[in-house]
Amino acid sequence: MDILRASHVTFKAGIQYPEIEIEAGLATFIQGASGCGKSTLLKLFNGTASPDHGKLFYRDKPLNTLDTVKLRQEVLLVGQVTFLFPGTIEDNFLEYYKYRELDPISAERMKHYLSLCSLDFPLDAVCDTMSGGERQRVYLAICLSLGPKVLMLDEPTSALDEKTAHHLIHHIKRFCKEEGITLVVVSHDAALTKQFADHIIVLEKGGLPCKA
Ligand SMILES: Nc1ncnc2c1ncn2[C@@H]1O[C@H](COP(=O)(O)OP(=O)(O)OP(=O)(O)O)[C@@H](O)[C@H]1O
């Protein structure tokens, strides 16, 4: 059963998507040449971009009929631009839980999510001076802990060495399977995709049919 669907969707700059179905509970990897619309597809799926034509669906409901805040909490996008507050890793967990009006999780749980994301920083490490890749993984750890229904990752391994990239995707995929989270990953890494994808969507520039 699909959890996300794009039907007859077009976007600026001449992007015409094929019919796309994201199966619930699977790890779907999206590949394609630079500029073919991979990042935009993720943004379309959580309502941070709007299509010019066509329709997007989440659990069979048109996206434009859904509450945007709730949609973005359930269909969580970890993009290349991350949203961290100034301060430590722990400060950031606490801020996100406060914003969501949730009871904070324990320090032990925070450390568990950091290790899932291949980060061995202490909780009092300051995020402001971390590298882009480290900040993306701190944000990913917080997002994982928030229990999304769909987790969409845009190039999560682009800043990582091969071993760390493998470790990260292995742990995230296993966690998502255990928790019933649908995983969608945009990746240029063909080897990683081949190893971890349950389903592969290849987008073509100009909007040719995708290969599944
Ligand atoms: N808000 C926007 N308005 C107009 N054009 C946009 C907008 N957002 C993206 N584009 C254009 O849409 C095209 C697809 O961009 P997108 O970032 O989705 O590509 P991509 O496949 O993820 O590329 P890459 O692999 O290089 O990250 C690009 O030509 C980009 O310039």
162 CB neighbour count, 10 Å cutoff: 11
Going from the Cα of 136 to the center of ligand 1, the distance in angstroms, rounded, reads 20
Let me know if 118 is exposed, middle or buried by CB neighbors in 10 A (0-12, 13-18, 19+). Answer: buried
Looking at ligand 1, which atom is closest to the CA of residue 43? 18
pLDDT of residue 82: 84
Tokens 């969507």 correspond to 201
The boundaries of the domain holding residue 52 are 2-203
Nearest CA to ligand 1 atom 4: 12
Q: Is residue 209 situated within a structural domain?
A: no
Nearest to 207 by CA among 5, 4, 11, 63: 11
Tokens 């290969």 correspond to 211
pLDDT of residue 125: 98
Q: Is residue 135 situated within a structural domain?
A: yes
Q: Which of 9, 10, 12, when mutated, tests ligand 1's pocket best, judged by the most ligand atoms within 8 Å of its CB? A: 12
pLDDT of residue 207: 59
Q: How confident is the model at residue 167 (pLDDT cuts 50, 70, 90)?
A: very high
Q: How many domains does one find in the chain?
A: 1
Q: Is residue 210 situated within a structural domain?
A: no
Nearest CA to ligand 1 atom 8: 40
**Residue 210 pLDDT exceeds 60:** no
Q: Which residues contact 79 (CB under 8 A, 6 or more apart)?
A: 39, 42, 43, 154
Torsion angles phi and psi, residue 154, rounded to 5: -100, 110
Q: Is residue 35 situated within a structural domain?
A: yes
CATH number of residue 157's parent domain: 3.40.50.300
pTM of the model as a whole: 0.93
Q: CB under 6 Å to ligand 1: residues?
A: 12-13, 15, 32, 34-40
Q: Is residue 208 situated within a structural domain?
A: no
Angle, helices 107-116/89-99, rounded to nearest 10 degrees: 110
Encode pLDDT of 126-152 as tens digits. 999 998 889 999 999 999 999 999 999
Q: Is residue 185 situated within a structural domain?
A: yes
Q: Is residue 7 situated within a structural domain?
A: yes
Q: How confident is the model at residue 203 (pLDDT cuts 50, 70, 90)?
A: very high
Question: What is the Cα–Cα distance from 200 to 212, expressed in whole angstroms?
Answer: 5
Q: How confident is the model at residue 159 (pLDDT cuts 50, 70, 90)?
A: confident
Work out the percent of the chain whose per-residue pLDDT is above 70: 96
User: Using an 8 Å Cβ cutoff, are 52 and 58 in contact?
Assistant: no
pLDDT of residue 49: 95
Nearest CA to ligand 1 atom 11: 13
DSSP notation for 84-147: --SSBHHHHHHHHHHHTT-PPPPHHHHHHHHHHTT----TT-BSTTS-HHHHHHHHHHHHHHT-
Going by the DSSP 8-state scheme, the letter that residue 64 receives in this structure is: G
Q: Is residue 164 situated within a structural domain?
A: yes
Mean pLDDT of the chain: 93
